[in-house]
Amino acid sequence: MRAGGKGARGGLALRVATASALLSLLIGGAFAFLVAAVVGMRDTAALARETEEVLASVNDLERLVIDLETGQRGFLLTGDEAFLQPWVAARASFDGQAAELKRLAAAHHVGQAGRAEQIAREGASYIRDYSVPVVREAQQNLSSPPSRQVSAEGKQRMDRLRVQFREFVQFEYGLESERDARSGAAAHRAVLVSVGGIGGSILLIVVFSGYLIRSVVRPVRRASIMAGEVARGDLSARMPETGSAEIGGLQRSFNTMAGALERNRDELTASRARIVEAGDAARRCIERDLHDGTQQRLVTIGLELGMAETDVPPEQVSLKSRLSWSVREMTDVIRELRETARGIHPAILSRGGLRPALATLARRSPIPVDLRVHGDRRLQERTEVAVYYVVCEALTNAAKHARASEVCVEVTLEGDDARLLIRDDGVGGADPNRGSGLIGLCDRVEALGGTVQVISPVNTGTTLVIHIPGPTIDLRKDRG
């Protein structure tokens, strides 16, 4: 019981659960990493959209600054106030676009928020402290161009703005490249983990499937084959006890069951053989008692009656007639008793063996018998008795039930075996399961470990194929 409990605790159920848990963890981990990678890629995509918005905003702000510069310069060079239209529009939109850039940059990256603030401050200062005063002075004095110093200041301010815009854009592109690199690395790791998880899962499934085939499927298939052999009567079939856990217990239980069935079969066969042998011994004893005892006494009485008949005077006709009738009746009784004793156990079988005993059966059969005996060996006595009564029962069935016109009996003695082939041309349809005389015939043969095959199609006769094994002695040595 302890071994069984240990096998149950560490058996197939635990191993299947462990393998399932490992497979679940492997697949779950791979999918969790994929989910994390997908979430990371989604965040990267969101950041990429933010980058696009920031770059679009800073480009719009830079275009406003360029419109301020070009509109201002065109007006200063030509004095045509038509050039001031983009300048006026850019000046009106600058504060709103700068605020939008600061908002987007603050939500996007702390470093970019500072740069956006600096760009907005520098741009506002350019408009407030340089561009507006220069344009107003030019409007008041169109004939006087701005001084060289004023132009140099404007150029310096615009150069600083361009540098700030370029740094902002370059930093943003750097952020984008860094994000792309991280995203690519994460995607590469996700692919590697996915491939590793799938490969590991496939490997685990293959290994576990191989384990199940080796440890479960093959032993169960072998057990099915062995069970089929046992069902067909081969109770010596055994399984190799190489399995572990529940399968090992199944193999041991199967072998224990087969061994118990084989022992029971052997005990039953031996018991049946002892019963048959006891019956044959009882028949021999009865036949011997009838022959040596009752039959001899009846013969003596018959002789005495015959002698008494001869001593009766001729004038006592009635007494002489009665004694004569008694002698005849006594002779008939002796003849019937002899036939009865011969049916109980044929003395010729013990003295001469199967060949003369079967020849006597064939002569007494009410239907013609074609008898063929192959082999010159004496079987063990109980086997010879079994063969004799099998042939006797078969001839009786052919005469009483089969309505046959001829019977062929072929007996072959090969080594230690006796094989019988008995055919008739009767009506067929014989079935041992319907209570015919074949039941006793089968019992006698199977009690000696033999087999009986009945082939009896309707209207085509009956064929009995019988095999009776047993030790033999050489007939020629016995005769010598």
- How many alpha carbons lie under 13 Å from residue 302 in its C-beta half-sphere? 16
Q: CA 40, CA 25: separation in Å to the nearest integer?
A: 22
Contact assessment for residue 269 and residue 328, using Cβ atoms and an 8 Å cutoff: no
Quick one: what percent of the chain has pLDDT higher than 90?
A: 8
| Other Cβ atoms closer than 10 A to 57 | 20
pLDDT tier at 51, thresholds 50, 70, 90: confident
Q: In the chain, what is the straight-line distance between the N-terminal and C-terminal CA atoms, in Å?
A: 63
Residue 175 pLDDT: 84
pLDDT tier at 237, thresholds 50, 70, 90: confident
| pLDDT single digits (tens) 247-302 | 777 778 878 887 888 787 677 666 666 666 666 666 666 656 565 567 677 777 87
Contacts 24+ apart (CB under 8 A), 65-74: 65/90, 65/94, 65/123, 65/126, 65/158, 65/161, 65/165, 68/94, 68/126, 68/127, 68/131, 69/131, 69/154, 69/158, 72/131, 72/134, 72/135, 72/154
Amino acid at 149: Q
Which residue would you say has higher pLDDT here, 201 or 374? 374
- pLDDT value at 475 more than 60: no
Which residue would you say has higher pLDDT here, 253 or 241? 253
Residue 340 pLDDT: 65
- Helix, strand, or coil (residue 160): helix
Contact assessment for residue 216 and residue 236, using Cβ atoms and an 8 Å cutoff: no
Q: CA 345, CA 276: separation in Å to the nearest integer?
A: 13
Q: Which of 21-35, 168-182, 285-299 has the highest mean pLDDT?
A: 168-182
pLDDT tier at 479, thresholds 50, 70, 90: very low
Tokens of 342: 């011969």
User: What is the average per-residue pLDDT within 449-469?
Assistant: 88
- Helix, strand, or coil (residue 270): helix
Contact assessment for residue 384 and residue 354, using Cβ atoms and an 8 Å cutoff: yes
Residue 280 pLDDT: 61
| pLDDT single digits (tens) 381-432 | 778 888 888 888 888 888 888 788 899 999 998 877 889 999 999 888 887 7
447: left (phi over 0), alpha (psi -120 to 50) or beta: alpha
Tokens of 209: 């499937």
Question: Nearest 5°: phi and psi at 345?
Answer: -160, 115
Which residue would you say has higher pLDDT here, 84 or 347? 84
- pLDDT value at 227 more than 50: yes
Which residue would you say has higher pLDDT here, 267 or 92? 92
